[in-house]
């Protein structure tokens, strides 16, 4: 079995070529399944994400998502140099983003850049393949209707998993499903827009030029209000971000009243990942729409 430095050297061999050599490796982030490592090599400094999940294509899907974002917005998206699997480790090697002080127009740039992203449209909601949100499988079968997609590809898989894993009882599942019949009348009609899909403050970082940079996407074509609602779930976004976004793509009236509906999905994701502490927030939203 290879030790960590041997794995890192194999990664740079596969991605940067046989002449590339490892100089140093520093662990800079660690989660339940992912590690982030700063690799200094003879070819420069890179960011390595290593994942020990059994899903062999999880980081390949992340690389695809980053490429789609890169093609669809002027915002900074880290360049990727390769991905693969070595022994039990999935890896993704990408550009290392050095942080700096935010420029004065940081939040305006982020709002305009997200609006630019949402101007990339499709004829259907979904994507041509499934991917992941965090470590969870994200279904993307394509639908013509947003509420049908949202129910069948977002809410049902996550609430069903929570029930299967005994995080919620049957009566809660049935109560949750009572809102489905009301959704079509509550969502404004919009073209399917390319979404980041996991837009919380931890997935927006400041680059070396003081500009916003998007990382860790869970992309698909969805209702653009999903990204805006997700950004409000845990906070951390300045009001200038929303003002700049709406200067390009104004939101339909009563967006604030719909935020909870959209955020049922990320709350279910967090329920499945981290446990029942997220149940009260879900219950509160359900009560509002029963």
Alpha helices for the chain (secondary structure H): 4-16, 58-70, 106-118, 146-149, 156-164, 170-177, 180-186, 225-233, 239-248, 255-274, 279-288
Whether the per-residue pLDDT at 236 is higher than 90: the answer is yes
Say which DSSP state 278 is in.
G
120 with 255, same domain?
Answer: yes
pLDDT at 160: 97
| CATH code, domain with 180 | 3.90.1200.10
Q: How far apart (Å, rounded) are the C-alpha atoms in residues 152 and 237?
A: 30
Q: Which domain holds residue 26?
A: 4-64+78-95
Question: Does residue 279 contact residue 168 with C-beta atoms inside 8 Å?
Answer: yes
Q: How far apart (Å, rounded) are the C-alpha atoms in residues 129 and 178?
A: 29
Q: What is the pTM of this model?
A: 0.95
170 with 271, same domain?
Answer: yes
Residue 289's pLDDT band, with cuts at 50, 70 and 90, is confident
148 with 259, same domain?
Answer: yes
140 with 238, same domain?
Answer: yes
pLDDT at 54: 65
pLDDT at 32: 63
Q: How far apart (Å, rounded) are the C-alpha atoms in residues 116 and 100?
A: 24
pLDDT at 3: 79
Whether the per-residue pLDDT at 56 is higher than 70: the answer is yes
18 with 60, same domain?
Answer: yes
Q: How far apart (Å, rounded) are the C-alpha atoms in residues 53 and 109?
A: 35
Q: Please report whether residue 171 resides in a domain.
A: yes
| CATH code, domain with 20 | 3.30.200.20
Q: How far apart (Å, rounded) are the C-alpha atoms in residues 144 and 167?
A: 32
51 with 133, same domain?
Answer: no
Q: Is 35 exposed, middle or buried, given 0-12, 13-18 or 19+ CB atoms closer than 10 A?
A: middle
Counting the structural domains of the chain, the total is 2
Q: Please report whether residue 21 resides in a domain.
A: yes
Q: What DSSP line would sit under 209-227, residue for residue?
A: TS-EEE-S---EEE-THHH
Whether the per-residue pLDDT at 252 is higher than 70: the answer is yes
Q: What are the catalytic residues?
A: 198
Q: Please report whether residue 73 resides in a domain.
A: no
Q: Please report whether residue 254 resides in a domain.
A: yes
Higher pLDDT, 29 or 282: 282
122 with 265, same domain?
Answer: yes
3-state SS assignment for residue 148: helix
Residue 30's pLDDT band, with cuts at 50, 70 and 90, is confident
165 with 247, same domain?
Answer: yes
Segment 220-230 shows an average pLDDT of: 98
Q: How far apart (Å, rounded) are the C-alpha atoms in residues 68 and 284?
A: 35
Q: Please report whether residue 159 resides in a domain.
A: yes
Whether the per-residue pLDDT at 2 is higher than 70: the answer is no
131 with 179, same domain?
Answer: yes
| CA separation, residue 168 to residues 47, 134, 162, 247, 283 (Å) | 38, 21, 6, 41, 11
Least confident of 18-27, 126-135, 155-164: 18-27
Higher pLDDT, 4 or 12: 12
Q: How far apart (Å, rounded) are the C-alpha atoms in residues 122 and 140?
A: 13
135 with 195, same domain?
Answer: yes
Determine which helix (DSSP H) or strand (DSSP E) holds 51, and give its type and residue range: strand 44-51
146 with 283, same domain?
Answer: yes
Q: Please report whether residue 28 resides in a domain.
A: yes
Q: Please report whether residue 101 resides in a domain.
A: no
Mean pLDDT of the chain: 94
193 with 237, same domain?
Answer: yes
pLDDT at 6: 87
Higher pLDDT, 30 or 68: 68
Q: Is 74 left (phi over 0), alpha (psi -120 to 50) or beta?
A: alpha
Q: Please report whether residue 245 resides in a domain.
A: yes
pLDDT at 254: 95
């Amino acid at each position: 079995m290879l030790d960590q430095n041997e794995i890192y050297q194999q990664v740079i061999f596969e991605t940067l070529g046989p002449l590339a050599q490892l100089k140093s490796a520093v662990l800079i982030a660690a989660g339940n399944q992912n590690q982030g490592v700063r690799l200094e090599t003879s070819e420069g400094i890179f960011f390595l994400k290593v994942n020990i999940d059994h899903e062999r294509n999880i980081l390949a899907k992340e690389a695809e998502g980053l490429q789609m974002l890169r093609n669809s917005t002027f915002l900074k998206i880290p360049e990727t140099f390769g991905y693969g699997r070595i022994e039990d480790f999935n890896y993704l090697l990408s550009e290392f983003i050095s942080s700096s002080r935010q420029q004065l127009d940081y939040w305006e740039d982020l709002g305009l850049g997200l609006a630019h992203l949402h101007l990339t449209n499709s004829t259907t909601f979904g994507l041509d393949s499934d991917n992941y949100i965090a470590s969870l499988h994200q279904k993307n079968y394509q639908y013509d209707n947003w509420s049908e997609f949202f129910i069948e590809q977002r809410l049902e898989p996550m609430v069903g998993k929570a029930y299967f894993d005994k995080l919620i009882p049957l009566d809660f599942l049935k109560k949750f499903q009572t809102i489905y019949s009301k959704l079509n009348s509550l969502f404004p009609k919009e073209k399917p827009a390319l979404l980041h899909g996991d837009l919380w403050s931890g997935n927006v970082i400041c680059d070396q030029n003081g500009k916003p940079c998007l990382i860790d996407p869970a992309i698909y074509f969805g209702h653009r209000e999903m990204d805006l609602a997700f950004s409000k779930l845990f906070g951390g976004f300045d009001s200038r971000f929303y003002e700049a976004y709406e200067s390009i793509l104004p939101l339909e009236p009563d967006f604030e009243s719909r935020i909870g509906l959209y955020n049922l999905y990320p709350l279910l994701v967090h329920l499945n990942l981290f446990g029942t502490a997220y149940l009260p927030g879900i219950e509160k939203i359900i009560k509002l729409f029963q």
